[in-house]
Amino acid sequence: MARTMQKNGQKTVQKIVQKFGGTSVADIDRIKAVAQKIKREVDLGHHIVVVVSAMSGETNKLVEFARQAGQSQGSPEYDSVVATGEQVTSGLLAICLQTIGVAARSWLGWQIPIRTDGHHGRARIGTIETDNLDACLDAGEVAIVAGFQGRDQAGRITTLGRGGSDTTAVAIAAAIGADRCDIYTDVDGVYTSDPRIVPAARKIDRITYEEMLEMASLGAKVLQTRSVEMAMKHGVRVQVLSSFDDMIGSDWPGTLLVDEEEIVEKQLVSGVALSRDEAKITLIAVPDSPGVAAKVFGPLAEQGVNVDMIVQNISEDGRQTDITFTVPRGDIDSAVSIIEAQRGEIGYGRLAPDATVVKISVVGVGMRTHAGVALKMFQTLAEKGINIGVISTSEIKISVLIAEEFAELALRTLHAAYDLDAA
């Protein structure tokens, strides 16, 4: 089938991949509701591939079984056990569709096949053979694909890691040349900020892949980072939308991820995000000698502690310096232990750990071409008397570390300052 061009509201036949996550298929009633959504797209004449996750709770149950048996991470046996969750959902959804008169069949990773490397528990997709799926669509059947899984060269079942069904959906959309990949989830799109904190937050109609990646890495966990990267690489148009309302993807109710060129009126700032999973550690009075940074961050990296922001201030006399960095909040104790064990090696005055900080970020592709975004951020926070700890920037993002008590105030104030508030 030829790939068709599409515009909003256009009525041509399209190839659409739909992905439904665990809460969307939590029980039989929810699966039946999903079947109705699929039927509506089928009734519009579209060709549909559906990717499903395990019913919510099932994967955790299977992981716990494997842990009790003796394995806590990916292995051939672990993957064979854990992959059954998606297998069950795919078969049940096919049954629900058949029951309401929609031709459908389930496809397991090994049946398509989706070929992966042999890294069990975190396998990467190599090639997806499309003959079987194409034949299924051409026969007028909805193809229901068990997400999160594939097969390796040895013919064993592999899993892509948690959240991997998003990646399955985007990879299949790329492989079959789908017009759109609709990711049905428990939110109705990507917002300019967290609506629970910022009541004036608005749903974003279109967002670039790059912005979505920055938002995702900031804890706006709507989409798995890896699936966004894959969508960007292959130019897959991804729509994030809710499975809990009456809309379907062809109604365009959600947020569409697109190339930057597709967005004519670029926002200076697309969103303001908050991450609470932050802790700050300052090494005070460190000798300002070459290689000192390596002595601090080498051991942390070796122990798997992920360092995010780093700032180094040179003291007045030029002989001592302070080093501040951030780690995930849950890692603060181990980070402190690691640094203390290196005290003789590094030679510092004292350690000042602080787990009462948060990170606020403004994200927008517009800031590539507009100056003054950072200045506005600093001024706005200063006007409210909010002190900025650490600053880090990327091409389309500025992040600052502030005291936790100002989190909500800062988020709401910046949201208004960048004219993001709903009219």
- Site mask, a second copy, residues 138-157, x = CB under 8 A? -----------------xx-
Identify residues 265-284 at the interface with a second copy (CB under 8 A): none
CB of 24 to a second copy, least distance (A): 15
Output 111 or 306, the one with its CB closest to a second copy. 111
Output 96 or 367, the one with its CB closest to a second copy. 96
CB of 109 to a second copy, least distance (A): 12
Output 25 or 358, the one with its CB closest to a second copy. 25
- Site mask, a second copy, residues 74-113, x = CB under 8 A? -xxxx-xx--x--xx-xxxxxxx-xx-----xx-x-xx--
Identify residues 14-53 at the interface with a second copy (CB under 8 A): 28, 31-32
Among 33, 44, 62, 336, binds a second copy (CB under 8 A): 62
Output 91 or 347, the one with its CB closest to a second copy. 91
CB of 245 to a second copy, least distance (A): 23
Residue 299 and residue 305: Cα distance in Å, rounded? 9
Output 138 or 383, the one with its CB closest to a second copy. 138
CB of 34 to a second copy, least distance (A): 11
CB of 169 to a second copy, least distance (A): 20
SS3 sequence of the chain: CCCCCCCCCCCCCCEEEEEECHHHHCCHHHHHHHHHHHHHHHHCCCEEEEEECCCCCHHHHHHHHHHHHCCCCCCHHHHHHHCHHHHHHHHHHHHHHHHCCCCEEEECCCCCCEEECCCCCCCCEEEECCHHHHHHHHCCCEEEEECCEEECCCCCEEECCCCHHHHHHHHHHHHHCCCEEEEEECCCCCECCCCCCCCCCCECCEEEHHHHHHHHHCCCCCCCHHHHHHHHHHCCCEEEEECCCCCCHHHCCCEEEECHHHCCCCCCCCEEEEEEEEEEEEEEEEECCCCHHHHHHHHHHHCCCCCCCEEEEECCCCCEEEEEEEECHHHHHHHHHHHHHCHHHHCCCEEEEEEEEEEEEEECHHHHCCCCHHHHHHHHHHHCCCCCCCEEEECCEEEEEEEHHHHHHHHHHHHHHCCCCCC
- Site mask, a second copy, residues 186-225, x = CB under 8 A? ----------------------------------------
Half-sphere exposure for 50 (CA within 13 Å, toward CB) = 35
69 binds a second copy (CB under 8 A): yes
Output 146 or 216, the one with its CB closest to a second copy. 146
CB of 84 to a second copy, least distance (A): 4
Output 157 or 231, the one with its CB closest to a second copy. 157
Q: How many residues bind a second copy (CB under 8 A)?
A: 35
CB of 27 to a second copy, least distance (A): 9
Residues contributing to the site for a second copy (CB under 8 A): 28, 31-32, 62, 65-66, 68-71, 75-78, 80-81, 84, 87-88, 90-96, 98-99, 105-106, 108, 110-111, 155-156
